[in-house]
Structure 1
Amino acid sequence: MCASETNGDLADFFEPLNQKFRIYAAKGKRRPVSHPTEFSGVPETLPWQNRVRSISTPSRSHDEDQMLERFLQSLAGDYVPLAVVVNEQMEPLHILGDSDGYFRRPSGRQTNDITKNVVKDLAIPLATGLQKVFKTSEELKYTSIRIHWREELKTVQVRIRPLPGKKGQESLAAVFIEEMASPKEAVGGGTPVYDINLEAEQRIHDLEQELQFSRENLQATIEELETSNEELQATNEELLASNEELQSTNEELQSVNEELHTVNAEHQSKIIELTELNNDLDNLMASTRIATLILDENLNVRRFTPEIRRIFRILDGDIGRPMNHLTHNLMDEDLLELVQDVTHRGVEKEREVRTREGDWLQMRILPYHIGVSAISGVVLTFIDIGLLKTVQNMLSDRETLISSLYRASPVGVSRVANRILLDVNDQLCQALGYSREELVGRSARLLYPSTEEFEAVGKDLYEQIRKHSIGTMETRWRCKDGTVFPVLLNASSLHPGNPENGATFTALDLSIRKQETVKAQVNEERYRRLMDTLAEGIVYYNAQGEIISANPAAQHILGLSSNPATGQIAANPDWTVLREDGTEWPAEQQPPMIALRTGLPVKAAVMGLADRQPGQTRWLRVSAIPLFDPGKKSPIEIYSIFHDITESVETGHKLARTQHELQELTRFAQPVLDALTTRIAALKKSSETASDPHAWQDCTCESLNMLQRLIEKIPTLSNPV
């Protein structure tokens, strides 16, 4: 039953087997008791631990049990005598029939023994008969047994029959008690008549024989005891001597006990030290941040650090668990096989492994030594080498880059330690005419035409390296064919803190460079002469709009001045820049600044320079051209070309003024001409009536014609040439 259930009113029908788990066994059916002193039809059963139960007892349903019970009860009164089923423990299991007068409950402690619960006259026959029947497995019958019942004497016969059963079932016997009408009925059939006097006499004889045997044994025992007493006396004397020895031994033990107390105290301190050492070891293993897994000789988990959870799915409760029960996240690794190989061979293994998350680890599998040649497990350690792999990749890329620079460098490159060539590139081999095998491992003295130059480089150049970690020096080298050529050596220490570890050298052949320098000097001189002789001014501006150079014509035209100390060129502060219309021109809007800002050329712009002191103006035609580095969008320099157009501008201004004056003259002459024409027309009319008008008319017409021609020439004069 569960914890909340109870047997209630049925407690009498169940026997508790386990009170804690509430396990009960049914006691079977009980026949109702009609009288308090009447013997119960079903005796109390022993606990299940003390009884041998049938292994294959067939179970019956509740209805069949009731039917069988009713059938037996109906037979008990008329056909069946009093019958009792008894086991080997003398316990009545079932009673059929009226037991009144045969069974009784004695006072005192209750028991299930049938010989204790029957009347006194039946106790001895039942005890004797049941023992014989269980021993021989044969039926037995006693007759003429007189019993006292309610102050009356009656004769009964007892028949005991073993009940058949299967192997492994409990042995049972059926006891039938029948009341006899007269003692004569017990004579026939050869059945033994139970004579209590004869049986008692036989029993007394047997007991006397047993008593005699016991007396003889007792006498022998007494003699042995007397002998043993003497021996014990001697032993007692020995024990007294031993006691004295034990007392001395006790004193020794007390001293030993004191020593043990001292040793115990030392052991306690050792235990404390071991505990602290164990704690230190745990903290040390945790502080190293190294994933560690320790396995015993059976490859079971003994100890691990918290970092191991990055590799294995392991819990604190997995101590003692086999390793093959754990799963890991390493790629392409059979850890169990590796661990078993280390266990069998006793040789550690080390390799780089990678997790499924992409982390790189350095795995070491070491045998767990407990002696010189004794192994008792395996230790697995995993160290994070992600940063190391990154550095290795960087170093590999750097080495690849350096190798490519060695191969692609247009100058000779070598690595030297203690003035011994350790490595050279192909360009250096080609320049010197040696192969790589002929140079590597040789002294650098091979490259110098004289010992003096070799020692001079060792003194001056290496002194620069020791002081500044770098150095530069010009010297001469000798090729394999004996040709001597100038070189420029540039050196850098491999380890600035320790220059003795070596240096890297670059060697530049100066013979070609000097030829190119001479050519460059010639071209520069040609360019300088061209700049100096040009009538046009040329000015260079840097990316910040500052003048960096100007030819003499520009300096003369613009009135530029240079500062010898700084080398800067500055414009005349008394000059003002004007537009073509005469207005002032801001510096940020002038052609060089526009070309610098936009990156587009500005051509043929007219610009005026007005001198504030004399009041003169100089006019220039300016072009600004930007210069670019390859691949860049912003100009790095601007050069501006300009020439003086002051005369052309001033001529244009004079023509403009003349045109303006002619236009004004025309504007004033035209009304006069119109008035004169009108007056002449009037004179013509009046001259027809006058005498001798021809002379006046001719003069007037001539003047008019001259004035007309003058007016016609005015538009022609007004146009600028």
Structure 2
Amino acid sequence: EELETSKEELQSINEELQTVNAELNIRVDELSRANNDMANLLESTQIATVFLDRDLCIKSFTPTARDLFRLVESDVGRPLAHVRPRFPADRLQADMEQVLLRLGTIERQVEGTDNGRRYIMRVLPYRTVDNVIAGVVVTFVDVTQIARAEEKIGVLSHDLRNRVESLETLLDLVPVGIFIAEDGDGAEIRANRRAVELMGQRSTGDKLISVPAVLPLTLNGVKVDAEEQPLRKAIRTGKPIPGYEAQILHENGSGIDVMMSANPLFDENGKVRGAIATLVDISSHKEAERSQERLLHELQHRVKNILATVTALASRMVGTSSSIGDFFSSFQQRLQAMGRTHEVLSSYNWRDADLEQLLRAVLTPYS
């Protein structure tokens, strides 16, 4: 009976051992899968990682860590300081010791001596699931492409700044007023120095100056509505507004004639994002037109006077001439005298002429 009882107990223990063994096999499989997952994760991220214990000896490392250290499988258990690095690692030992002491994280940028690639090195404490510091983890993230992109962005930004500065200098030098509106609903626009001067304001040292979006434009003495001004109209309609003539009134009551042209600006989607306009002072041109009209009027008046004088001479000499030959000779002499009179008057710009010179020019043929 005792043997029977012992046998049953052994069978019971054996069954328990089989159960425990099955559970252990399951745990081993789970651990194996976890290790495989972790290995694939570290491999897929391409992040070089070295795990160290509290003595800063190597516990394990990822395959990409060989790009930063001359590691072999037999280096596990050796201090990391005994492994020759492939980057300047003068401060690595001190950083690892400091991380163990202060439990913080240190991050630096390093560059490989063999391949010239750039990495972000992070040194952080190795924590167990029980939140126990069991060593140090050193990771290296390859940021070569990011660094090169940042360098390229820096070069492009520098070039862009130079181009913008050159453009602003050009806008400041051109003898044409220029307005730039980057927002159709904005209360202010930017203007170059010449535009500010044409508006009758004092320009500052800035190359582009903020001015009110509504310009002091008038047309035939009537103030131009804000929405009908070329800059706003170009933004609203999305079409260029060429050759718009108006007047600008200054605060002191004076004014100038101007011609304004505006073109809309579009973004990459074809949507209006603003407008740019030019402002030209045409006061001298308008004054020249008025002077031309006065000259034409004066010319018409003088031609009428000359024709009236010639008509009067002809009428008078017809009655006093004895023959056609006598009329022709006298009429020709009178016309020549009138021509000489006009020459003298023209030499004095039709102003105060010398009377003696006029008389000599007219009477010399008869002396």
Scaled by the length of structure 1, the TM-score of the pair is 0.29
Whole-Å separation in 1 of the counterparts to 2:19 and 2:60: 34
Aligned to 1:396: 154
Aligned to 1:488: 262
2:179 touches 2:278 (CA, 8 Å); kept in 1? Answer: no
In the superposition, relative to structure 1, how do residues 486 and 300 fare at CA in structure 2: closer, same or farther (>3 Å)? farther
Per-residue deviation, 1:301: 0.9
1:376 equivalent in alignment to 2:134: yes
Gaps of at least 5 residues in structure 2 are: 172-177, 197-202, 216-224, 286-367
- 1:2-41 pair list within 5 angstroms: none
Per-residue deviation, residues 476-497 of structure 1 (Å, max 9, x unmatched): 9xx9x8899835345353xx47
Per-residue deviation, residues 20-61 of structure 1 (Å, max 9, x unmatched): xxxxxxxxxxxxxxxxxxxxxxxxxxxxxxxxxxxxxxxxxx
Aligned residue identity for 2:213: L
Aligned to 1:447: 213
Aligned to 1:361: 119
1:406 touches 1:413 (CA, 8 Å); kept in 2? Answer: no
Whole-Å separation in 1 of the counterparts to 2:166 and 2:57: 59
Per-residue deviation, residues 636-681 of structure 1 (Å, max 9, x unmatched): xxxxxxxxxxxxxxxxxxxxxxxxxxxxxxxxxxxxxxxxxxxxxx
Q: Per the alignment, in what secondary structure is the counterpart of residue 49 of structure 2?
A: strand
1:408 equivalent in alignment to 2:182: no
In the superposition, relative to structure 1, how do residues 255 and 402 fare at CA in structure 2: closer, same or farther (>3 Å)? same
Aligned to 2:51: 294
Whole-Å separation in 1 of the counterparts to 2:31 and 2:182: 56
- 1:25-424 pair list within 5 angstroms: 247=5, 258-331=15-88, 333-357=90-114, 358-371=116-129, 373-409=131-167, 410-411=170-171
Q: Per the alignment, in what secondary structure is the counterpart of residue 294 of structure 1?
A: strand
Q: Identity percentage over the alignment?
A: 26
Aligned to 1:527: none
Q: Per the alignment, in what secondary structure is the counterpart of residue 164 of structure 2?
A: helix
In the superposition, relative to structure 1, how do residues 486 and 352 fare at CA in structure 2: closer, same or farther (>3 Å)? farther
1:421 touches 1:439 (CA, 8 Å); kept in 2? Answer: no
Aligned residue identity for 2:227: E
Per-residue deviation, 1:275: 1.0
Per-residue deviation, 1:296: 1.9
1:329 touches 1:355 (CA, 8 Å); kept in 2? Answer: yes
In the superposition, relative to structure 1, how do residues 408 and 375 fare at CA in structure 2: closer, same or farther (>3 Å)? same
- 1:444-523 pair list within 5 angstroms: 446-449=212-215, 452=227, 459-461=236-238, 473-474=240-241, 486=260, 488-493=262-267, 496=268, 507=276, 509-512=277-280
Aligned residue identity for 1:382: F
Whole-Å separation in 1 of the counterparts to 2:123 and 2:181: 40
In the superposition, relative to structure 1, how do residues 267 and 331 fare at CA in structure 2: closer, same or farther (>3 Å)? same
In the superposition, relative to structure 1, how do residues 435 and 364 fare at CA in structure 2: closer, same or farther (>3 Å)? farther
Aligned residue identity for 2:137: V
In the superposition, relative to structure 1, how do residues 295 and 431 fare at CA in structure 2: closer, same or farther (>3 Å)? farther
Whole-Å separation in 2 of the counterparts to 1:347 and 1:415: 51
2:192 touches 2:209 (CA, 8 Å); kept in 1? Answer: no
1:368 touches 1:376 (CA, 8 Å); kept in 2? Answer: yes
Aligned residue identity for 1:447: A
Per-residue deviation, 1:298: 1.9
Whole-Å separation in 1 of the counterparts to 2:180 and 2:259: 18
Whole-Å separation in 1 of the counterparts to 2:179 and 2:45: 44
Per-residue deviation, 1:305: 1.8
Per-residue deviation, residues 136-177 of structure 1 (Å, max 9, x unmatched): xxxxxxxxxxxxxxxxxxxxxxxxxxxxxxxxxxxxxxxxxx
Per-residue deviation, residues 120-139 of structure 1 (Å, max 9, x unmatched): xxxxxxxxxxxxxxxxxxxx
Aligned residue identity for 1:405: R
Whole-Å separation in 1 of the counterparts to 2:181 and 2:28: 61
Whole-Å separation in 2 of the counterparts to 1:418 and 1:363: 49
Per-residue deviation, 1:367: 2.0
Per-residue deviation, residues 510-553 of structure 1 (Å, max 9, x unmatched): 223x96xx9xxxxxxxxxxxxxxxxxxxxxxxxxxxxxxxxxxx
Q: Per the alignment, in what secondary structure is the counterpart of residue 381 of structure 1?
A: strand
Whole-Å separation in 1 of the counterparts to 2:95 and 2:179: 48
1:413 touches 1:505 (CA, 8 Å); kept in 2? Answer: no
Q: Per the alignment, in what secondary structure is the counterpart of residue 382 of structure 1?
A: strand
In the superposition, relative to structure 1, how do residues 350 and 419 fare at CA in structure 2: closer, same or farther (>3 Å)? farther
Q: Per the alignment, in what secondary structure is the counterpart of residue 227 of structure 2?
A: helix
In the superposition, relative to structure 1, how do residues 326 and 456 fare at CA in structure 2: closer, same or farther (>3 Å)? same
Q: Per the alignment, in what secondary structure is the counterpart of residue 29 of structure 2?
A: helix
Aligned residue identity for 1:366: L
Per-residue deviation, residues 253-298 of structure 1 (Å, max 9, x unmatched): 8556535533432331231122122123222322322222121222
Aligned residue identity for 2:91: D
Aligned to 1:626: none
2:99 touches 2:125 (CA, 8 Å); kept in 1? Answer: yes
Whole-Å separation in 2 of the counterparts to 1:300 and 1:485: 81
Per-residue deviation, 1:338: 1.2
Whole-Å separation in 2 of the counterparts to 1:386 and 1:300: 29
In the superposition, relative to structure 1, how do residues 418 and 490 fare at CA in structure 2: closer, same or farther (>3 Å)? closer
Aligned to 2:295: none
Scaled by the length of structure 2, the TM-score of the pair is 0.53
Whole-Å separation in 2 of the counterparts to 1:323 and 1:414: 62
Q: Between Structure 1 and Structure 2, how many residues are aligned?
A: 247
Aligned residue identity for 2:52: L
Q: Is the helix fraction higher in 1 or 2?
A: 2
Aligned residue identity for 1:360: R
1:366 touches 1:379 (CA, 8 Å); kept in 2? Answer: yes
Gaps of at least 5 residues in structure 1 are: 1-239, 462-471, 519-721
Whole-Å separation in 1 of the counterparts to 2:122 and 2:131: 20
Per-residue deviation, residues 224-247 of structure 1 (Å, max 9, x unmatched): xxxxxxxxxxxxxxxx9xx79x95
Per-residue deviation, 1:396: 0.8
1:331 touches 1:356 (CA, 8 Å); kept in 2? Answer: yes
Per-residue deviation, residues 345-373 of structure 1 (Å, max 9, x unmatched): 22222222122243222222222222475
Per-residue deviation, 1:451: 5.5
Whole-Å separation in 2 of the counterparts to 1:418 and 1:266: 73
Whole-Å separation in 2 of the counterparts to 1:288 and 1:376: 24
Aligned residue identity for 1:383: V
Whole-Å separation in 2 of the counterparts to 1:405 and 1:299: 53
Whole-Å separation in 2 of the counterparts to 1:253 and 1:429: 104
In the superposition, relative to structure 1, how do residues 336 and 431 fare at CA in structure 2: closer, same or farther (>3 Å)? farther
Whole-Å separation in 2 of the counterparts to 1:349 and 1:473: 59
